[in-house]
């Protein structure tokens, strides 16, 4: 579905070029949910921006669906900051991507209203972003990305600024939507447990310049809820994944400190 080949990105500075990413090789299958973890500043967000077409690679290639070059029309992004248009209502923000793709007003409204109901935002459809809580704004941002009809969702720590309880609720809602309407998702997070909860795979990145150190498969059964999966065997497996990923990250963080 997505292939990154020898992807490298340099940024110019007054002291010479800085390499943010180096020789990234990545494949993402259709309907797959892949999480990325790594030290701060290792290029995780830069990788998403390259895939989205927001910046150009310095070297390497991005290929989408085996034959088409990756473009912004094939992806949608969700940021930690919701990025909603303040002059648009909840319903209008959700339907924005559909409007950009030429979908008629009646169909846009119907599809956006479906997500309003699905995400528990009934009664807020005509509200503006400043009238919503942080969790509600992120729900709207997720719905807008999902409704864009993009093949690939790029999510850059979308729940990082939320409180723990809201984060758990939105993680469950995201997985429920993904199960019902499968898309490929590439999800950046600093939270190891979140990566284990959400991902089919977890990619561990090195300190800058960012490289993929290891791919960890997460074959836990779905649906997942780490708080409710209480069997000793499952908890032992989760703990094993958590410590393995943390030990790899800790070594990288110490080298970059």
Domain 2-256 has CATH 3.40.50.920: no
pLDDT by residue for the chain (257 residues), tens only, comes to: 899 999 999 999 998 899 999 999 999 999 999 999 999 989 999 999 999 989 999 999 998 875 544 544 588 888 877 689 999 999 999 998 788 778 888 998 999 998 898 888 888 999 999 999 888 898 899 889 888 878 899 999 988 878 888 888 888 888 988 888 888 999 999 999 999 999 999 999 999 999 999 999 999 888 777 666 556 677 888 889 999 999 999 998 888 76
Order of all β-strands in the sheet with 18-28: 18-28, 2-11, 59-64, 68-69
Residue 67: predicted pLDDT: 53
How many Å apart are CA 147 and CA 98, to the nearest integer?
Answer: 7
User: Per 3-state DSSP, what percentage of the chain is helix, strand, and coil (rounded to 5)?
Assistant: 40, 25, 35
How many Å apart are CA 161 and CA 81, to the nearest integer?
Answer: 8
Query: 223-241 burial string, b = 16+ CB within 10 Å, else e?
Result: ebebeebeeeeeeebbeeb
- Domain map (residue ranges) of the chain: 2-256
């Amino acid at each position: 579905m997505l292939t990154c080949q020898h992807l490298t990105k340099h940024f110019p500075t007054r002291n010479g070029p800085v390499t943010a990413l180096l020789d990234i090789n990545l494949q993402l299958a259709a309907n797959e949910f892949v999480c990325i973890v790594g030290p701060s500043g290792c290029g995780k967000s830069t990788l998403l921006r390259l895939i989205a077409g927001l910046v150009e690679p310095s070297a390497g290639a991005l290929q989408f669906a085996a034959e088409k070059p990756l473009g912004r029309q094939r992806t949608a992004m969700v940021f930690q900051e919701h990025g909603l248009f303040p002059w648009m209502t909840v319903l209008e923000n959700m339907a924005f991507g559909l409007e950009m793709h030429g979908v008629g007003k009646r169909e846009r409204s119907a599809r956006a209203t479906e997500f309003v109901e699905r995400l528990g935002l009934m009664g807020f459809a005509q509200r503006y972003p400043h009238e919503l809580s942080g969790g509600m704004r992120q729900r709207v941002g997720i719905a807008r990305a999902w409704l864009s009809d993009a093949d690939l969702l790029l999510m850059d720590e979308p729940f990082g600024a939320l409180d723990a309880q809201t984060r758990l609720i939105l993680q469950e809602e995201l997985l429920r939507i993904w199960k019902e309407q499968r898309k490929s998702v590439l999800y950046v997070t600093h939270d190891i447990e979140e990566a284990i909860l959400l991902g089919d795979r977890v990619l561990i990145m090195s300190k800058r310049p960012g490289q993929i150190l290891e791919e960890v498969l997460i074959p836990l059964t779905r649906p997942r809820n780490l708080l409710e999966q209480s069997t000793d065997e499952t908890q032992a497996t989760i703990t094993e994944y958590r410590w393995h990923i943390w030990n790899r990250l800790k070594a990288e963080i110490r080298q970059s400190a």
